[in-house]
């Protein structure tokens, strides 16, 4: 079970509250987690990563286990603590603006 | 009993203001989509309960919202599983997917436009500035995008396809204005269903007579002395807004970066009608619902001083189709006022006498129920107003 935390605006858009729990098959990576997330909440498509290139939006960051994983390969394994559900995968709106 | 609904887009959400035909007491509902920029909301003339909204964010990109109950509830079109299923059984969620068409079938694939520094840059989707529902079909809607392009949906906003030949109209010479390279105005013509006008900053106006298959620039008569090396170039002008009265579809009015202009031949040629305006810089322009020769503008001091001249908020009205303008000031602040009125933030209702409404970057919505003679603020402290649209309901 993968735990995902969305930023407030995307929780509103997806009409959900709190953490999301996802069943992800195969290797646990940014890509596999986001694929399952967007399949369950299709209104999130295009808001975290590009529809076609799947490139992360510039002002969206990925944190987990007190690390910034934003610049990791989307196919790199996420930390074991995320894969086991001990720690959540955080999708964060970058601190930008005044 | 007749009623009215104002659709307000702001920097931090959407608001819906409602009143009866007297237009004295207003209810304010919102914010909807709080915290997001709502560039534009507009109702379908064919089904007033259907409203489209452009919701954007620098963080999370573009979202299209649609209401089918007059703004009570909203959904991104096509995101409910029962709405749209892909071949793998998953909903697609494509209502915010605006892909530029670079295929050969467009006739002239075009991939770059001019940037501020004169270099060529690739087209890159940023947001939808304007949504224009079809006059006759509630499932058809047009979207004006930044970087400038026109998109069309025929399934209620669920999927979008670019009308790509527009960019063949010398798109390599288009360039961003200060607000970005945006297609911000779309005018449909009930008398000529295949005719579409669009306006782009900074490219100019363009017309299609075949439903968007082919386009041509319609900027003859525009002069941009300090903005372009060739002041009367065929494209490149910073047109801020154009409008038309449906009873006289060959007459167009334009607020350009500088200059207010008029065309009497569906955009084939333009002539200046700034006349006695205190400044001919501004953003919106509107036409009276029942008097096609009565036009409204809000003069702004200059391109770098985006506030009214002398700190006096004045709407100017011409009853002669331009050149002769009168200041409308009753109820508007006449000292220390330094707000701006953006291009999509003025609209008229269909009542008699005609009502006119505008929103400011200071968050005020001003209304006049007597064609501009007297003004009252409906609400004073919204976030900066990006757009105002009116639905006159019966």
The complex scores an ipTM of 0.93
Name the residue in chain B with its Cα closest to that of A41. Answer: B79
DSSP string, B89-144: SS----TT------SGGGSS---EEE-TTS-EEE----EEEEEEE-SS-TT-EEEE
Instruction: Please give the Cα distance from A51 to A56 (Å, whole number).
Output: 10
Q: Where are the domains of chain A?
A: 2-93
Residues from chain A contacting residue B33 (CB–CB below 8 Å):
12
Q: Is the pLDDT of residue B159 over 90?
A: yes
Residues from chain A contacting residue B94 (CB–CB below 8 Å):
45, 51
The separation between CA B304 and the C-alpha centre of its own chain, rounded to angstroms, equals: 21
Residues from chain B contacting residue A52 (CB–CB below 8 Å):
97, 99
Q: Is A9 close to B79, i.e. CB distance below 8 A?
A: no
For B301-329, write each residue's pLDDT tens digit.
999 999 999 999 999 999 999 999 999 99
Percent above pLDDT 90 for chain B:
89
Whether A38 contacts chain B with CB within 8 A: yes
- Class of the domain covering A2-93: alpha beta
Q: Is A47 close to B92, i.e. CB distance below 8 A?
A: no
Percent above pLDDT 90 for chain A:
91
In this complex, which of B59, B90, B93 lies closest to A93 when CB atoms are compared? B59
For B237-280, write each residue's pLDDT tens digit.
999 999 999 999 999 999 999 999 999 999 999 999 999 999 99
Query: Which B positions 24-43 lie with beta carbon below 8 A of chain A?
Result: 33, 35-36
For B109-136, write each residue's pLDDT tens digit.
677 899 988 899 999 999 999 999 999 9
Q: Is the pLDDT of residue B89 over 70?
A: no
Sheet of strand B260-263, all strands in order from the earlier edge strand to the far edge: B239-244, B252-256, B260-263, B271-272
**Residue B55 to chain A, least CA–CA distance (Å):** 11
For B164-205, write each residue's pLDDT tens digit.
999 999 999 999 988 899 999 999 999 999 999 999 999 999
CA neighbours closer than 13 Å in the CB half-sphere of residue B226: 6
Element holding A37 (H helix, E strand): helix A30-40
């Amino acid at each position: 079970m993968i735990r995902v935390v969305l930023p407030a605006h995307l929780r509103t858009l997806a009409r959900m509250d709190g953490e999301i729990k996802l069943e992800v098959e195969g290797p646990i990576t940014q890509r596999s987690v986001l694929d399952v997330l967007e399949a369950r909440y299709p209104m999130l498509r295009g808001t975290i990563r590009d529809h076609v290139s799947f490139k992360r939006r510039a002002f969206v960051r990925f944190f987990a286990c007190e690390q910034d994983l934003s610049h990791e390969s989307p196919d790199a394994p996420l930390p074991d603590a995320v894969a086991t559900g001990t720690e959540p995968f955080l999708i964060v709106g970058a601190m930008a603006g005044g | 009993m007749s009623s009215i609904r104002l659709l307000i887009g702001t920097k931090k959400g959407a608001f819906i203001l409602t009143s009866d035909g007297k237009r004295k007491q207003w209810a304010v509902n919102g914010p909807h989509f709080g915290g997001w920029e709502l560039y534009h909301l507009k109702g379908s003339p064919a089904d007033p309960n259907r409203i489209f909204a452009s919701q954007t964010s620098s963080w999370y990109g573009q979202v299209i919202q649609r209401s089918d109950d007059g703004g009570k509830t909203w959904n991104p079109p096509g995101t409910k599983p029962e709405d749209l299923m892909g071949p793998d059984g998953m909903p697609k969620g494509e209502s915010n997917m605006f892909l530029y068409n670079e295929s050969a079938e467009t006739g002239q694939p075009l991939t770059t436009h001019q940037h501020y520094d004169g270099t060529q840059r690739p087209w890159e989707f940023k947001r939808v500035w304007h949504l224009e529902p079809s006059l006759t079909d509630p499932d058809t809607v047009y979207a004006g995008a930044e970087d400038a392009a026109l998109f069309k949906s025929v399934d209620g906003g669920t999927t979008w396809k670019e009308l790509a030949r527009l960019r063949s109209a010398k798109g390599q010479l288009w360039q961003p204005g200060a607000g970005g390279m945006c297609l911000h105005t779309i005018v449909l013509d009930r008398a000529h269903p295949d005719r579409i006008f669009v306006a782009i900053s900074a490219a100019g106006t363009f017309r299609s007579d075949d439903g968007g298959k082919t386009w041509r620039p319609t900027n003859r008569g525009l002069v941009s002395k300090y903005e372009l090396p060739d002041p009367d170039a065929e494209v490149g002008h910073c047109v801020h807004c154009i409008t038309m009265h449906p009873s006289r579809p060959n007459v167009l009015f334009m607020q350009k970066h500088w200059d207010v202009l008029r065309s009497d031949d569906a955009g084939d040629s333009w002539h200046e009608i700034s006349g006695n305006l205190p400044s001919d810089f501004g953003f919106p322009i509107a036409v009276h619902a029942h008097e096609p020769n009565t036009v409204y503008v809000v003069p702004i001091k200059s391109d770098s001083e985006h506030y009214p001249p002398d700190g006096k908020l004045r709407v100017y009205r011409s009853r002669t189709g331009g050149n002769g303008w009168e200041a409308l000031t009753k109820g508007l602040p006449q000292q220390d006022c330094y707000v701006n009125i953006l291009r999509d933030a003025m609209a008229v209702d269909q009542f008699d006498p005609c009502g006119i409404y505008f929103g400011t970057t200071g968050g005020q919505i001003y209304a006049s129920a007597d064609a501009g003679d007297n003004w009252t603020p409906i609400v004073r402290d919204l976030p900066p107003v990006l757009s105002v649209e009116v639905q006159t309901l019966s």
